[in-house]
Structure 1
């Protein structure tokens, strides 16, 4: 019994080995490298580093009252632009509020007297900016810890950039900003600050980078997610070909070009070139090729299988009543 079991296992392993052998042989036979012809053309190459950031105020300032009391009037709304020294609100001190409440019960004349005698305290903007938060309404009591208004001087994008990319970033470098909320709008910006100290985010060393948008558009809001593309290198109107057309042969950068010689069975010959920058898809040609010159780009394809029954796999059972099936590939 034990001998029969071992024999069965051995036969199964032999069958598996035979199947693998013929499958690999079949695959190698039908895998063929083909080439398509393209022309050297002029184009642009831009190398970028991508990161994700958040739109937020460059300086966020909570405006707090100098005295406790009651808010009499707020003169601004959220989104309103204010200037340094502008009066944002009027506040009555606790004593003034008590006096006015007592005078109000004695009549309008008494109330006017105390209003003229005891003036409210102004809440003044300390800088130019935009009101991004209005927390309180007139009539509410307020302490010196409360911040009825929050002011922002301008919006920037703060992003976390991986340490492997941070060495490619420079101050004043061009950046393309695209907000998740407005994916069709591209906003130009520049690198304003690169942090000197790193932060660990999910066990990855990151550096905070501040990007300054050239314009602050009306729809931009603090907290929006922004996708950034830092321009590392950019060249325009240069000779380019697909990256996959370039090979390394005998320590030389080479491409294949069509051969007109009848003796050349492969119909291609290698040509040495000199390349420049690449974005992974296109590569710059510095020497060796000219605009419009044909270059061969490899394609890996499976050959059409010439099987019996007009292309029907003999190992697959035929469908009853369906007859022979054929397939057509359009070029």
Structure 2
């Protein structure tokens, strides 16, 4: 009986919920949103309280300072490259053959015309002898033809004399004339053969001379890439046997200048460079060439620049890697401030800037062109900057205009600033 009553009551409750539009899912959902709103409210109260407490903290700040100074400013462009001789010559063999002797070694000083190496000349000498024999034969042929001319000339003369008296027929006179003409033609051919034989001999003598390798310049042997007994094949290209440097007391430094800096580089500018072999020593140099042609390596565009180097002490060697600082601008007696002073901003200003707008500012989207507009303004005012003067223990802003900079100090071109003023460059702070 009781169970039947419970079923009836349950059906009545279900009918009532259905009539009023109430169900358990809706009740649970409303309960969830209610507590979510409560949690968000509590979180907002905590954030606001923390900001109020944070703003109420006492700050004590100590500042690191420096003085405005007057002095000189050097602007340099850095580039790397290698040292090379002013004139470097590769000496090779124009003919194929076997090396018989090598007469010089690394670092040997040589004179122009000095013999560096000799090749085996047995075959070359045989060809020269053959060419000489051909020339001798051609000369003998010339003499033989000349004798024939003399003989035929006499016969022709007698035939003409006899023809005057009627004792020589016309046919005999014509035959004598023809013999003489043939002899003259043979002489011309023999002389041409002599010239040809002489040319062949000269060619073989030239080839024989090439078997002796001479130095084309006064200099020093940098590389010797040949040994006695080595076979040289000069069929397609001249094999290099020696590399000579003309004069190591004068050298060249070839550096690659970045395309962003090449506009500041000019012939005649002074530079200094260092090499790894003498890390604590600098060497002077002067720009002699700035190439117009570019070089591109891995997408980086550079321009080769050549500097003249005095190497009288012979400390520098070809192939050394050097790092050069090229002086592109030098200013004297100008107001200078450290770049750290231009970068400094008081911590209070930083906190105000970072807290302005708070959460709502970060949630509200900015106009799409706002960032671009700020970039344009910054670009137009890139020389207008601000430094902070320490007065009565507090930072005071001063606006000024800047000029050239070497990355450490910057030139001041205008502004209410003078030498000796104390500028803030950093903060040493603590919170209480």
Residue 45 of structure 1: how far off its partner (Å): 2.3
Q: Mind listing any 5+ residue stretches in structure 2 that lack a counterpart?
A: 1-24, 128-207, 344-380
Match of 1:69 in 2: 97
Structure 1 window deviating more from structure 2 (137-146 vs 198-207): it is 137-146
CA RMSD of aligned residues (A): 4.5
1:1-331 alignment to 2 at 5 Å?
Answer: 3=29, 11=39, 15=43, 22=50, 26=54, 34-95=62-123, 121-144=211-234, 145-153=238-246, 155-215=251-311, 218=314, 220-235=316-331, 239-245=335-341, 259=391, 277-284=404-411, 293-303=420-430, 305-306=431-432
Q: Is the 8 A contact 1:156 1:211 kept in 2?
A: yes
Give the match's secondary structure for 1:48: strand
Matched positions, count: 280
Alpha-carbon shift at residue 231 of structure 1 (Å): 1.1
Does the CA-based 8 Å contact 1:50-1:227 persist in structure 2?
yes
**1:70–1:97 Cα contact (<8 Å) kept:** no
The structure with more radius of gyration: 2
Name the CA distance, whole Å, in 2 between partners of 1:53 and 1:299. 38
SS of the aligned residue for 1:280 comes to coil
- Measured in 1, the distance between the counterparts of 2:402 and 2:108 equals 54
Q: How far apart, in 1, do the equivalents of 2:244 and 2:224 lie?
A: 9
SS in 1 for 2:260: helix
d(CA) in 2 for partners of 1:124, 1:180: 36
**Stretch moving more, 191-200 or 216-225:** 216-225
Shift in CA distance, 252/46, structure 1 to aligned 2, threshold 3 Å: closer
- The answer as to whether partners of 1:52 and 1:228 remain within 8 angstroms in 2 is yes
**Higher helix proportion (structure 1 or 2):** 2
Give the secondary-structure state (helix, strand or coil) at the position aligned to 2:261: helix
Consecutive unaligned residues in structure 1, runs of 5 or more: 100-117, 260-264, 307-331
Q: TM-score, normalised by structure 1?
A: 0.64
